[in-house]
Amino acid sequence: MRTSKRDKSYETSLLEALTDPKEAAAYLDAVMELEDQGAMLIALRQVAKANGMAEVARSASLGEKTLFKSLAESGNPTLDTVNRILHSVGLRLSVAEIHT
């Protein structure tokens, strides 16, 4: 598949936006609404990429390989790993009532 300049600029602007914890939180929150683990892993990977994968791995006290495996398409990170990743970028998990 060929990547156009438009695709690159979208990814660039997305990654720039995701360095802001408020933007990253809103992005992850929106993806959680999908209730799709694969989409959530992609979103977490984008947030980690935006904040520097190596820095996120170091800050989360994870090896880079562990981080990559956890956030791969076939990844199945533990709650502890997700929490470490989120904390490393200034975020945390929270629970809220479902509004219907």
pLDDT value of position 96: 87
* pTM, rounded to two decimals: 0.86
* Range 86-89 contact pairs with CB under 8 angstroms and sequence separation of 24 or more: 87/59, 87/60, 88/51, 88/55, 88/56, 88/59, 88/60, 89/21, 89/24, 89/47, 89/48, 89/51, 89/56
Domain range list for the chain: 5-88
| Token duo for residue 69 | 């495996």
% the chain with pLDDT above 90: 81
Q: If you average pLDDT over every residue of the chain, what do you get?
A: 91
Give the pLDDT band (50/70/90) at residue 5. low
- Residue range 49-91, pLDDT digits in tens: 999 999 999 999 999 999 999 999 889 999 999 999 999 999 9
